[in-house]
Chain A
Amino acid sequence: MSAILDRSIGSTPASSSEPQPLAVPHVLKGQLKTGSEVLHRSRDLGQGFTTPALDLDEAVWLRNKPGPAFDTPMAEIIDFLVELGARLNLQNPLMREALEGMVQVSTLDRRILSNCYEDMGHMFTREVLEAEITQSLGSVAVIDGWQATGHAGVPARLRAFPGRIVHIMAGNSPMVAGLSVMRGALSKSVNLLKMASNDLFTPTAILRTMAQIDATHPVTRSFSAVYWKGGDASVESVLFRPQYFDKLVAWGGEGAIRHALKYVGPGFELIAFDPKVSVSMIGREAFDGECSEASLAELARRGAADVLSFDQDACNASRYQFVEGTIEQVDRYAQQLALALGHDVRYGAGQGAPTPPEIREQVDALRNLDPIYAVFGGYDGRGLVVRSDEPVDFHPTCKTVNVVQVESLREALKHITVATQTVGVWPPSRKRLLRDGLACAGVQRIVTLGEVNVHGAVGGKPHDASFPIHRFMRWISEEGAEA
């Protein structure tokens, strides 16, 4: 008998020592649905979870009827969302319960998850909601009804008509769930939220809180949150059709976007929040004058805050920092940065997981090429910084930063690509000088160093170089004389 016949290729059954699978509920149009008909595995946590069976008929809103909130006045929706926001914190037992689940499926630690839940209400405050809707659509009138326009001489009435949206969510930050609900609700659309395996609890906790306020409210009935395994053709090939949904909103995850592209076609559009890389730029002013270690440490704390965003597993987390200065100056900063990475920030842990082997091996090689490269910090998960004169060719992640020495920040523009999202700049005065060059190269957001996750970043600002709510709408015109 030949060896090749007896080869077993495939996975082996789970060992009996594995923990009990987590029970993950669904929420469908305000109704909680529990059950454990389907067992899923979670690759990263080694822990399985169960969900109710997905009834595909329940997951859609048929086109022969308008969505529940299509004609609800914006003022009423905002009032409802403000009330929701007031309950999105850890006083709320539903959010506390979600937190306990999240601790088991998220790579973020309890402190960061708690901070997210405590802060999430901010994006549901009245001023944020109003800024978001007026910046996105120009006026509330155009979504609440038909707005007359006489441009170019032809009379017409325009309406931002609500859409039918399926959201493929990312789970690296619970804030993704908050943002999706906030924007989906403001657009008055119907929204199917497809949860990610690393956030199986935040979306349903928000929707359950809505139902607690008013289970029959049009906004409550406009949302469902469910899980199926991304790419599962038995679900996606059925649901991803223009007859059910106009738009598919995909958050990052190249794989998710590639899956979704299979179904994109006439009448079914992709709105992609692309997977992104972010960087920092520090001008030579940082080293002006006496430049004490204390002032450099302060600057490094700003630099580290941007790196640590969601444990550096976010599109806005800085990975490369371009620094103007001599090698000695740049190394001083790199040294301070490595220290600063060891301190907690609101959405990032000072003590992270140890550096993964694939990065360690690359950094080991560079360490041996001293002085072309210099390495600061260590592999213990408290921060690792590699200084070089060209960006390294591995992807710095897991609290790894590549500090690149440059002659001028203008020179660093050549390293900015269509994949670059946010650039944190120091000192703030350099932003104005760099912003056109950065935008031209592909950047979408320019902030002061250290303010990537500043309180108040959400509300009335673009995301991924556009206004999402504007894109969620179907813009309809009714033209010619009215009678």
Chain B
Amino acid sequence: MSALQTLTELVHHDDPYRHAPDNLRALQLEAVRERFAQRRKQIRVLEHRAAEAKVTELRSLDDAVKLLFADANYKSYPETFIDQGRWDRMTLWLQTLSTFPITGMDYSKVSSMDTWIAELRRNGHHVMSSSGTSGKQSFIDQSESDRRLGAYFTQKGLAWASSNFRNRGDRTYPTFVTLPSGGAYTATERIQKFVDTVGTPGDIHWMSHVPQSADQLLKAARLRRAMADGTARPSEIAAFQAETEARTKKIQADIAVWMDQLLSRRKEPLFITGMMAMLYAIVAAGKARGIGDGEFHHDSVISIGGGRKGANLPADFEAQCQRFFKLGPSNFMDGYGMGEISGFCPNSHATGGWAIPPWLVPMVLDKKGEVLLNPTERSSEVEGRMAFIDLMADGRWGGVISGDKVVVDYAPRADGLKVPILRSVARYRDLDEGDEKLSCAGTIDAYVRGVVEA
């Protein structure tokens, strides 16, 4: 069995974190070699990148540093393609980042971004788009297998971290999701598929029902550009602002109803899933209603991800969440992940870190993302910029570099873990690492007031 097979088989193990092979790092390097050899023939941008960096084979993981893709890669299409409705060119662009050929596209059915994505899906390319609150959206190609695995990983990770969930038997839960429903091609879809398998039918509650549409995000981006080049009329800006305000009000009204339902059913075993920042919103709303700590049913399961995501939260928000929900090994899963990788790293209660599955090859780089930092004989911990090579990524190249500053412990030697763990996570751009470097050079962005968000 090849190294790649050995590691990807572990996907089906109930506890890959304690049953990883002893020679994990060596196997991972071998598996990365296999994946690279395979993908460089399939993915044009990877092949170009390798040629540019003169990487023909991976002698060590250091050679892979230049092959990592940043988020910017998945939004590197020229916006004029979209403005001019050149969906064929958008496909051409997506193809340069995709493993499998995109064929069979019928452009007579494509007249917008939503229909372009629908047509791609019809042809087996389950494009995932960032929900992009501002700026450009990213598009990440997923194969059928990627999509199936998404829900599967969620279920496995959750069972590993939460004993309530692991031992739930046939139980389904009244489910509360801290996300809007119907983001057909955003990360929401992964959760949606999973929620359908654990939620009690008819008792699944999404935070709001204001649909997220790619076209709507696009409209915002277009208006922003029109504002920049001075062609937007005041009436257009006014209309858009009014629309955005109405939408925000509707979302807020939906959330208020959802919050009431959630809090009033706290004595039942519930499944609550979504983003960390919203978990705190529940705590704040509960406290405002006079609900005390520890009132939620002990058989509930709470599954979150997303970290702080720049939200403006009190310093002790995590401790407040912990007390309010009595978070612990029975009821809590906190995943570390990102849109570009398969699955996530579930939290390990014993170590207080996140366990990195054997098929995610961790790479800790210097802040600039140029040099691989390795554990030394003195310390098994490495601090720097998080990157991964995701051996399971099917529709795209699995090499990803993040904006996160982390500490990875390559030998936690605790709780039987045989995989590295992440010990801390922060985002570089949230960190105050020094002073402003002032320059008179600028961009038009400074001249467009009011971030137009959809």
Chain B residues in 8 Å Cβ range of A276: 440-442
Within B272-329, which residues are at the interface with A (CB < 8 Å)? 276, 308, 318-319, 321-322, 327-328
Within B418-453, which residues are at the interface with A (CB < 8 Å)? 423-426, 431-447
Are B440 and A417 interface neighbours, CB within 8 A? no
* Size of the chain B interface, CB-CB below 8 angstroms: 65
Chain B residues in 8 Å Cβ range of A56: none
The CA-CA distance from A171 to B442 in the complex, in Å, is 14
Chain A residues in 8 Å Cβ range of B446: 254, 257, 274-275, 419
What 1/0 mask marks residues of chain B from 94 to 105 whose CB sits below 8 Å from any chain A CB? Answer: 001100000000
Q: In the complex, which of the residues B136, B228, B322, B440 contacts A170, with contact meaning CB atoms closer than 8 Å? A: B440
Which segment of A116-124, A296-304, A365-373 sits at the interface? Answer: A365-373
Chain B residues in 8 Å Cβ range of A312: 441
What 1/0 mask marks residues of chain A from 362 to 392 whose CB sits below 8 Å from any chain B CB? Answer: 1011111100110000010000000010101
The CA-CA distance from A42 to B438 in the complex, in Å, is 12
Within A172-230, which residues are at the interface with B (CB < 8 Å)? 172-173, 176, 196-198, 229-230
Within B229-278, which residues are at the interface with A (CB < 8 Å)? 229-230, 276
Q: In the complex, which of the residues A198, A390, A418, A441 contacts B80, with contact meaning CB atoms closer than 8 Å? A: A390
Interface of A, secondary structure class, is: loop
The CA-CA distance from A201 to B247 in the complex, in Å, is 51
Are B424 and A8 interface neighbours, CB within 8 A? yes
Which residue among A42, A373, A393 has the maximum number of chain B CB atoms within 10 Å of its CB? A393
Chain A residues in 8 Å Cβ range of B383: 12
Sorted nearest first, the 8 A-B pairs with minimum C-beta distance are A275-B442, A43-B434, A6-B352, A365-B76, A252-B440, A3-B347, A172-B439, A197-B435
**With A3-B347, A361-B72, A372-B89 in contact, do A196 and B442 touch (Cβ < 8 Å)?**
no
Chain A residues in 8 Å Cβ range of B352: 1-3, 5-7
Within B193-241, which residues are at the interface with A (CB < 8 Å)? 228-230
B348 within 8 A of A: yes
**With A172-B439, A368-B44, A369-B93 in contact, do A277 and B431 touch (Cβ < 8 Å)?**
no
The CA-CA distance from A275 to B444 in the complex, in Å, is 9
Within B328-363, which residues are at the interface with A (CB < 8 Å)? 328, 332, 334, 347-349, 351-354
Are A369 and B48 interface neighbours, CB within 8 A? no
A–B complex contacts, Cβ < 8 Å, 12 sampled:
A10-B426, A11-B426, A43-B437, A171-B439, A230-B435, A274-B447, A275-B440, A277-B444, A362-B72, A368-B96, A390-B80, A393-B80
How many chain A residues sit at the interface, stated as a range, is 35 or more
Chain B residues in 8 Å Cβ range of A451: none
B78 within 8 A of A: yes
Please give the distance in Å from A170's CB to the nearest CB on chain B.
4
Residues of A participating in the B interface, judged by any CB pair closer than 8 Å = 1-12, 40-44, 168-173, 176, 196-198, 229-231, 251-257, 273-277, 312-315, 317, 357-358, 361-362, 364-369, 372-373, 379, 388, 390, 392-393, 395, 397, 414-415, 417-419, 441-442
List 12 additional contacts besides A172-B441, A362-B76, A419-B444; criterion CB under 8 Å.
A4-B334, A5-B352, A7-B424, A10-B426, A196-B438, A198-B438, A252-B442, A314-B440, A361-B76, A415-B229, A417-B230, A418-B447
Chain A residues in 8 Å Cβ range of B96: 365, 368-369
Chain A residues in 8 Å Cβ range of B426: 9-11
Q: In the complex, which of the residues A41, A255, A315 contacts B441, with contact meaning CB atoms closer than 8 Å? A: A315
Chain B residues in 8 Å Cβ range of A230: 435-436, 438
The CA-CA distance from A256 to B97 in the complex, in Å, is 38
The CA-CA distance from A418 to B448 in the complex, in Å, is 10
Residues of B participating in the A interface, judged by any CB pair closer than 8 Å = 44-45, 48-49, 52, 69-70, 72-73, 76-80, 89, 92-93, 96-97, 136, 228-230, 276, 308, 318-319, 321-322, 327-328, 332, 334, 347-349, 351-354, 369, 383, 401, 407, 423-426, 431-447
**With A2-B328, A9-B308, A357-B369 in contact, do A365 and B439 touch (Cβ < 8 Å)?**
no
Please give the distance in Å from A230's CB to the nearest CB on chain B.
4
Chain B residues in 8 Å Cβ range of A365: 45, 73, 76-77, 93, 96-97
Which residue among A7, A229, A230, A392 has the maximum number of chain B CB atoms within 10 Å of its CB? A7
The CA-CA distance from A65 to B49 in the complex, in Å, is 65
Are B440 and A315 interface neighbours, CB within 8 A? yes
**With A417-B228, A419-B446 in contact, do A393 and B79 touch (Cβ < 8 Å)?**
yes
The CA-CA distance from A176 to B438 in the complex, in Å, is 11
Are B434 and A5 interface neighbours, CB within 8 A? no
Nearest-CB residue, chain B, relative to A256:
B438
Chain A residues in 8 Å Cβ range of B52: 364, 379
**With A7-B425, A393-B79 in contact, do A419 and B431 touch (Cβ < 8 Å)?**
no
Please give the distance in Å from A180's CB to the nearest CB on chain B.
12
Please give the distance in Å from B52's CB to the nearest CB on chain A.
7
Are B78 and A393 interface neighbours, CB within 8 A? yes
Please give the distance in Å from B452's CB to the nearest CB on chain A.
16
Are B349 and A361 interface neighbours, CB within 8 A? no
Please give the distance in Å from A46's CB to the nearest CB on chain B.
8
Please give the distance in Å from B169's CB to the nearest CB on chain A.
24
**With A2-B349, A197-B437, A361-B70 in contact, do A254 and B442 touch (Cβ < 8 Å)?**
yes
Nearest-CB residue, chain A, relative to B445:
A254
Nearest-CB residue, chain A, relative to B336:
A3
Please give the distance in Å from B344's CB to the nearest CB on chain A.
13
The CA-CA distance from A12 to B79 in the complex, in Å, is 39
Chain A residues in 8 Å Cβ range of B89: 369, 372
**With A255-B436, A275-B441, A369-B89 in contact, do A5 and B319 touch (Cβ < 8 Å)?**
yes
The CA-CA distance from A173 to B432 in the complex, in Å, is 25
Chain B residues in 8 Å Cβ range of A366: 76, 78
Nearest-CB residue, chain A, relative to B276:
A4
Nearest-CB residue, chain A, relative to B52:
A379
The CA-CA distance from A390 to B89 in the complex, in Å, is 14
Chain A residues in 8 Å Cβ range of B327: 2, 4
Which residue among A44, A361, A362 has the maximum number of chain B CB atoms within 10 Å of its CB? A361
The CA-CA distance from A39 to B433 in the complex, in Å, is 13
Chain B residues in 8 Å Cβ range of A419: 228, 442-444, 446-447
The CA-CA distance from A176 to B93 in the complex, in Å, is 43
Are A170 and B439 interface neighbours, CB within 8 A? yes
Q: In the complex, which of the residues B431, B437, B444 contacts A196, with contact meaning CB atoms closer than 8 Å? A: B437
Nearest-CB residue, chain B, relative to A2:
B327
Chain B residues in 8 Å Cβ range of A1: 328, 349, 352
Q: In the complex, which of the residues B353, B437, B447 contacts A171, with contact meaning CB atoms closer than 8 Å? A: B437
Chain A residues in 8 Å Cβ range of B328: 1-2
Chain A residues in 8 Å Cβ range of B349: 1-3
Are B72 and A358 interface neighbours, CB within 8 A? yes
The CA-CA distance from A146 to B332 in the complex, in Å, is 77
Nearest-CB residue, chain B, relative to A198:
B437
The CA-CA distance from A277 to B445 in the complex, in Å, is 11
Chain B residues in 8 Å Cβ range of A3: 334, 347-349, 351-354
